A and B are shown apart, each in its own frame.
Chain A
Amino acid sequence: MAGKTCELFECGHRACGGCGAALAARLMLQATGKDTIVCSATGCMEVFSTPYPETAWDVPWIHSLFENNSAVASGVVAALKMQGRKEKVVAIGGDGATFDIGMLCLSGAFERGHDMTYVCYDNEAYMNTGIQRSGATPYDASTTTSPAGTCSEGNRRPKKDLPRILAAHGAPYVATASIAYPADLIKKVEKAVNTPGPCYVQIHAPCCTGWGFEGEKTIEIGKLAIETGLWVNYEMEDGNVTRVKKVLRKPVDVYLKEQKRFRHLFKPAVNTGEIAKIQAIADKNAERYGIDLKIRKQEAPKAP
């Protein structure tokens, strides 16, 4: 707080160098501006940004519990409406708070149609408690509760498709974004907060500590997720996919081999069978969202 002011999400917080979530928060506030009330779930972001008596938030901010963020935001929205106030309400939580423990409150808030934006910074595991698997952890990722071992290849389940679940609630605007594409992320959060009703933005936020890569590679890893088709940036309006980020697709191993959480797929021997299953996930994403740029369609790499 004694240091110079950087932005609405100030410098000086306690996140790891190269933290994708911190970048997500900073970009999010660039998009929303100062007339925003932020409701934050328990998690890395809450802990690294608000050690009493310091705070990184230059906007009104409230953290209550791990799982009740959407319900707290519902109350804030209702109070602002009764007081005739115009601030935007943004709830932000990690994937554990959003996909898993906060699902009940999230579903309730979206079904009721409160005018709020829910932003999930998705770093694909419970990072604050030490890298345990969540409903957002990708197939085969090794975490502390889904460790790769002699009879396991890591997380056994694919990622939950939460954006579609929320779109099915009737959310007018649902989008996925990545910290690797800041301009796109900002545009999507802007659109979400300016769309009446409950909107959802899920931000891919690579975690150098949890995924096992050097902090300076966060953006690169984020880009590779998109370029391999393992993360798709898209927008859904009234339940329909309206815009998709197209790419010249790379094989998934270029993404996987950069991260310790997938190291067991390459060492001691390359596990072609499992890598093929992950490639199939990317191929399915590509087909479902039409992400392959047409000019290179014939040259697109085949699944190994």
Chain B
Amino acid sequence: MEGSHAVAKAVKQCRPQVVPAYPITPQTHIVEAIAEMVANCELLAEYITVESEFSALSACLGASAAGSRTYSATTSQGLALMFEVCFNVSGMRLPVVMTIANRALGAPLSIWNDQQDSISIRDAGWMQFYAEDNQEATDLHYIAYKVAENPEVLLPALVCFDGFILSHTYEPVDMISQDEADRYLPPFRPVQRLDADDPVSYGMYATPEYYLEFRYEHDQAMKRAKKIISDAGREFGTMFGRDYTSLTEGYRLEDADIALVTMGSLAGTVKDAIDEMREKGKKVGLLRIRCFRPFPTEEVAKALAGVKTVAVLDKNISVGSKGAIALEIKDALYGKSPMVLDYILGLGGRDVRKLDIKKIVELAEQGMGDQFYGLRREVL
């Protein structure tokens, strides 16, 4: 099944009532598939063909505040256009779930994959999950809704999967049944909603006497979410056999001297490269970050406690600083011994091969890092 279609099918099983959507490459196959499901009454939902991504998320906001489960999908420029609304949705504590088919941001225009788009709304107060493959991308949607709608959390969530690399790739995906989905994810029961019988005001303005507390509570909810994500992941595993208890995934990390760290589909290539390096006696492992917000700081610190060197593979760059994952890792390991080296790579769809991973490990062994990897010679 194509990644986008697997995601669309999972979304259908989550039974969103309102789906406002605007087309953008490489997200289109998801929203086209959902439009077809609505047209054939396979999904009973209001599908709103909005005139921009900005309106897509705004309509999600209205529908969620009115008490409906809502869904949209976007990427790159579309997410950038939603920027203002992103902070509003999370500030109003509305459990919207949105898929991101990760793509680079222009200029220059690029429709190809990196993770700059979702990383750029890192501070918008949304949960962020990153899938390694289409099975995980699919499963994470049920989990995202379950956590987002938990009254202890009430935060929106992004389920990110790499554009084209996953969204347009055919892989076997094991779908749970609708009955199973319903058992795992009961209907949305909002704590409050826009309702004439019990009027509430949403989105009031807060003076300096109150604003700080709103942000504190938002942050507290995000921190509480760690355990709730873990519980929801465990429950998914118990019911369907695929366990997501951990917010990270370790691969051959136990005795590793060098740990690679990344998010998303690159992890597959990294695992293959590790297997080959292991055969040659190199003690290399991988820590994959599945949940970037909330960031599993303690889990990461524990997982990387024994390694000598950490090589972070960032498909994003905070220009003038480092990659976003590297900064988190450094924070998690502050005061501990491992050396953390950052590699900015794969931006705008540049292919990252096993060979590249091996070269990075060699660089890390020499203590060389904090660089763009794989640059064309003419810019050097």
> Which residues on A are within 8 Å of B, measured CB to CB?
34-37, 39, 46-47, 50-53, 55, 57-65, 67-68, 70-83, 87, 104-105, 107-109, 111-112
Given known pairs A51-B205, A64-B203, A76-B63, the reply for A59 and B18 (CB within 8 Å) is no
A71 and B62 contact, CB distance less than 8 A: yes
- Interface 1/0s, chain B 34-55, versus A by CB < 8 A? 0000000000111011111011
Question: CB within 8 A of B196: which of A36, A71, A72, A73?
Answer: A36
Which residues of the other chain, A, contact B204 by a CB distance below 8 angstroms?
Answer: 50-53, 55, 63
Docked-complex contact A108 and B51, CB < 8 angstroms: yes
Task: Tell me, yes or no, whether B61 is within 8 Å of chain A by CB.
Answer: yes
Instruction: Determine if B203 and A62 form an interchain contact, defined as CB atoms under 8 angstroms apart.
Output: yes
Nearest CB in chain B to that of A61: its residue: B201
In the complex the two chains form, is B18's CB within 8 Å of A105's CB?
A: no
**Interface contact A62-B88, CB-CB below 8 Å:** no
Partner of B55, one of A35, A47, A105: A105
Contacts of A55 on B, CB cut-off 8 Å? 201, 204
The reply to whether A71 and B18 contact each other, CB–CB distance below 8 Å, is no
Given contacts A52-B204, A57-B201, A62-B65, 10 further A-B contacts (CB under 8 A): A51-B205, A55-B204, A68-B61, A71-B55, A75-B20, A77-B62, A78-B63, A79-B66, A82-B44, A82-B68
In the complex, which residue of chain A has the Cβ closest to the Cβ of B47?
Answer: A78
Give the chain A neighbours of B203 by CB distance below 8 A.
62-64
Which of B17, B60, B201 counts the most A-chain CB atoms under 10 A from its CB?
B201
| Contact present for A104 and B51 (CB under 8 Å) | yes
Chain B residues in 8 Å Cβ range of A67: 54
> Can you give 7 contacting A-B residue pairs, CB < 8 Å?
A39-B62, A62-B203, A63-B205, A74-B55, A74-B59, A79-B18, A105-B55
Task: State whether B66 touches A75 (Cβ < 8 A).
Answer: yes
Given contacts A60-B195, A78-B68, A87-B196, contact A52 B206 (CB under 8 A): yes
Bound-state CA distance A72–B54 (Å) is 10
- B interface list, Cβ under 8 A from A: 17-18, 20, 44-46, 48-52, 54-56, 58-68, 70, 84-85, 88, 92, 194-196, 199-207, 210
Given the interface contacts A64-B203, A71-B59, does A78 sit within 8 Å of B85 by beta carbon?
A: no
Instruction: State whether A111 touches B85 (Cβ < 8 A).
Output: no
On whether the beta carbons of B66 and A47 are closer than 8 Å, the reply is no
Q: List the A side residues contacting B207 at CB < 8 Å.
A: 51-52
Cβ A34 vs Cβ B58 within 8 A = no
Cα–Cα, bound, A170→B51 (Å): 17
Contact A64 B50 (CB under 8 A): no
Q: How far is the CB of B102 from chain A (nearest CB, A)?
A: 25
| Selected contact of A108 from candidates B17, B50, B64, B206, CB within 8 Å | B50
Given contacts A52-B204, A65-B58, A105-B51, contact A82 B46 (CB under 8 A): yes
Q: A63-B204, A71-B50, A74-B20 are in contact. Are A53 and B210 (CB under 8 A)?
A: yes
Chain A positions within 8 Å of B50 at CB level: 71, 74, 108, 112
Contact B51 A75 (CB under 8 A): no
A76, B52: Cβ atoms under 8 Å? Answer: no
Would B205 and A83 count as touching, CB distance under 8 A?
no
Which of the residues B55, B85, B202 comes within 8 Å of A61, measured between beta carbons? B202
Chain B residues with Cβ below 8 Å from A50 are 201, 204-205
Report yes or no: A75 in contact with B61, Cβ–Cβ below 8 A: yes
Separation of A68 and B52 alpha carbons in the complex (Å) = 11
State in angstroms the CA–CA spacing of A61 and B196 once bound together. 9
B residues less than 8 Å from A74 (CB atoms): 20, 48, 50, 55, 58-59, 62
